[in-house]
Every structure is written in structure tokens, then in C-alpha cells.
Structure 1
């Protein structure tokens, strides 16, 4: 593990775009009565903050919602009572400042913030002194592309996707694939899937026997499922939900970030907003945002509030089910 110093950071008011922010127009589409058990019929979408460049990677930590603004190389924070989001970490993913910032965020068992750092092309941990520890930056001597999203298993093993979205234009890939990797607690990195182009979001089922991958291929956006083995390898890759037919001029975006609730339902960003998919692969409904929607995460003291990063917006919806 390598350590590097981070420039000191303070909590600063977010600098929002000077141009007027478009009005947020969202709603909840109900395709199956089963959705009423997950989101109350009278639930509303609440806008919390606006004006971001591209919001991503939300995670609940220490009583606040943290999320990345990837192009702005910043992690913002929002907590109850705040009138807007505030800067809590800058730079977040490119220490030199000339690359993309952090994307996916997670919190490990010790409460440390773990980041997918696009600019540094690695997985890193934020230390209490403000420095970063590099947890993994290459496999078999080849640098990662730009780690995008991650999920941490109960064992402490970390699974992450590595498409090239966050690479500087013109930078060649070291590896000829868009890998999906497992990082074990001893620092060993294993390539577990290499035959998917544009893997993005990643999640585990409640029993951790299924690994879900969101594929953001612009020509075939979809969710894949794999049987996760005891040794951390996968087998039986299969299509879990085909989201591409949902795309339209009104329903922008592809399958990106995702989370799973305690009942095993998959909440994935996709065409139109956040799609709620049953464990059997049935589309129950959608939190329509009207935006390209990057990611989502549960938060709040009871883990029963779904926070959504929808392009320039941070919004939330109260749910009747809890997140893992």
C-alpha cells in the first residue's frame, strides 16, 4: 500500500454554476403493485441541492451524505438542515488537479472512506490526517483504466469495475479489457470478469451469493448477474435485466450506479432515473428524474431514505424498505 499526502481541505460552501439551473421535474412511476411496499403511494421526490457538473457515487457516512462531482474533482457533503451541499474533499481523485476526480465511494468496516479515483487510476483510502493510502493501482503490472464503482463484502473483500470513462483523452489503456476485479484484505488483486465492455455499477445480493454488474454500453445497457463463489470467483454470468428498450428521448441515460435493499430488490440508475427491479428481474417501477442519473444510495439513521445523484441534482425519496 502506498501513501501520499493530500492538500489540506476545509468544509466550504459549494460553488454552483452561474447559469440558471433547470427546474427539476420528477415523479414515481408505478408498474407493479409490489412497489407500494417499497415506496409509499404518497411518497414525493425532494430536491436537496443543485448546480453540480456531474454528481456521482453517494454514500452515507457519519450522519451526512457524501457524493462525488467527478469533473470538479470534489467530494461534497449534505446533511439535514443544510441549505446546500458543502465541499469536504478537494482534490478527490486527481491530486495534480488536471484529471477527473473520484467517482464511486464506499465506507469500510472501520468507517474509512474508500474512493474510486479516476485521475490517479486507483482505489484509495482517505486517512484521518487527510492523506490517501493507495489500496490498488494495477493488476499484473498493468495500470487500471479508471476505477468507477465498488462494493465491499462482509469479509472485507472489495469488488470494483474499471471502464476507461475517467481516463484522459488520448491515454492508451494498459490492459486490453474493461476489467472487474476483487481486492482482498491482504492486498491481492484478482481479475474476475474481463469480457464485458463498459461495466459500471456493482452490487451484492443480501446473501452475497450474487454479484450484479450494471453495463452502461450506449448500444446495449443492461444488468448482469453472476454466481459468487466462496473463493471470490464468479460463474454463470447471465442477463438479469435488459434496460436498453426503455431508452428514449425523454428517458435519458444508461445503467450506471446501483444498490440492493434488504429484500433483495435491485435499485439501479437507468433510462429515465432509478429503476426498481425485483430479485426475479421484474421491473416494478422507476423514480423518474428527467435527467441522466449517475447513482443512488440509502442513508439516514434508519437507512430508509434513497438519495439519488441525478446529473446536476441531489434528490431523495423516503422508502419503506432499508438498504443493505
Structure 2
């Protein structure tokens, strides 16, 4: 991105992941520090939830926060009093950690998982799935044969789910039916080397999971195109 200035928004993080823009603030998970954070444009960082290995973030239509717990393979829901309760149990559908999530405007969530022991390399790579979590917490498989689905977005009209298959070096799209199920799977043509997260709001975590790192930001006019980052404005 020639001519774009990149600045450090916050440092001292361990592994920032799952950035989301909501109500004028950047939300993200600091996975190995076991917390969900909210960073205001003024630079104030607040820990809004604590749980083991948080990852993907999203919100129900009534504003309650959803958080993926990677190792537990569950989606937690934060109640108005701040209590975290289990919203959905993904463990019957995922043998290895769950990670990224995007939530549609109707409250339907889509969650990816590793498919194999990607962190330690003790098993061979295997295909995983994208799981659909309905607003009532019911879970089923929305799409299978996905190679590390990590980075998902829904188009502004709510009609298309886009998934970055990080270990397959491709971006896959699906039509969303009215009930949140998926159809018309296709690979999006691109000649670019894409990041493993969504491109709509490019706040980029740097460094490794084992050392403190930082969150960098570079504004883009495309940010409002993706509901992963702009749902709060609705």
C-alpha cells in the first residue's frame, strides 16, 4: 500500500486477533493474555471480558457480545451484567481449536476451526468446516472441506459469506440463504497474496504469539464495505 502511513495504536500485547470496529472503537482479542479489549480512537484500552484463549468476536442484534473460546471450542455470550455464559458448544463438530467468527445482522454466527493440530504439528493437515451457530445457540456444519478457514466477512447486503482458507491460499465465497445456510460455493479469482484476516478494516497484528506485540492501523475507504467491521453503525 504505497503512500499509506501506518502507526502503532497500542503495544505490549501478546497475540492480538479478531479485530472488529463497533461504536467508534476497535475491539480485539488478546489471545494469550486471555482478554477481550476495546480501544477508543483516543487510545484508551479497556478490558471488557476475560476468558481463556479468546478469538473471534461478534454481536447479537440486541448488542450482546459473542466470543469464541479457542481451546474450549465454545462460543460465549456476555450478558448485560458482564457475566459470560455458554452460547454454543462447538466441540461435537471440532476436534481442534476454533478461531475466527463473523456474525450476521440477524445473529447467525459462522465459526471456523483448525481441523488438525496446527499449533504443534503433531498431526497431518486435514480439512475442517465452517460452523453455523443460530441465534438460539444451535450448531450445524455450514460448509465442509475447508483448509483452515481463518478470516471471514459478510458483504454489506448480507448476501455473501467470504472465507479465507489460509492453508489453501484461496478465498472462497458462498451465497447466504434466508435461514443462514450456505449455497453456490466458489473460489474468488485473485492474483494477490492475501492476509489471513479480512481486508475490510486492516488493523494488522505484528510479531509472534510468544512475545509482546502491537496493533497497527491504516485507515481505508473500503472499511465500511464489510459488516465484520461496520455492524455497529447499523
TM-score (norm. length: structure 2): 0.78
Q: Does 1:308 align with 2:209?
A: no
Distance 1:144 1:127, change over 3 A: farther
Q: Does 1:228 align with 2:176?
A: yes
| Structure in which a larger fraction of residues adopt helix | 2
SS at match of 1:71: helix
SS at match of 1:187: coil
SS at match of 1:194: strand
Give the structure 2 partner of residue 132 of structure 1: 84
Structure 1: gaps (5+ residues): 1-27, 30-41, 95-100, 247-253, 259-266, 269-296, 298-305
Task: Please give the residue correspondences for 1:1-324 in structure 2 after superposition, counting only pairs within 5 Å.
Answer: 28-29=1-2, 43-82=4-43, 85-90=45-50, 92=51, 94=52, 101-138=53-90, 141-142=92-93, 145-164=96-115, 177-217=127-167, 220-242=168-190, 246=193, 255-258=195-198, 267=199, 297=201, 306-311=202-207, 312-323=213-224, 324=227
- State the 1:143 CA deviation: 5.3
RMSD, matched Cα:
3.0
8 A Cα contact 2:61 2:106, kept in partner? no
Q: Following the alignment from structure 1 to structure 2, what is the Cα–Cα distance between the partners of residues 226 and 208?
A: 11
SS at match of 2:183: strand
Q: Encode CA deviations 1:154-182: one digit per residue, 9 max, x unaligned.
A: 2221111122578886999xxx8512111
8 A Cα contact 1:137 1:144, kept in partner? no
Larger C-alpha radius of gyration, 1 or 2?
1
Q: Following the alignment from structure 1 to structure 2, what is the Cα–Cα distance between the partners of residues 61 and 227?
A: 25
Q: Following the alignment from structure 2 to structure 1, what is the Cα–Cα distance between the partners of residues 71 and 103?
A: 22
How many residue pairs were aligned?
218
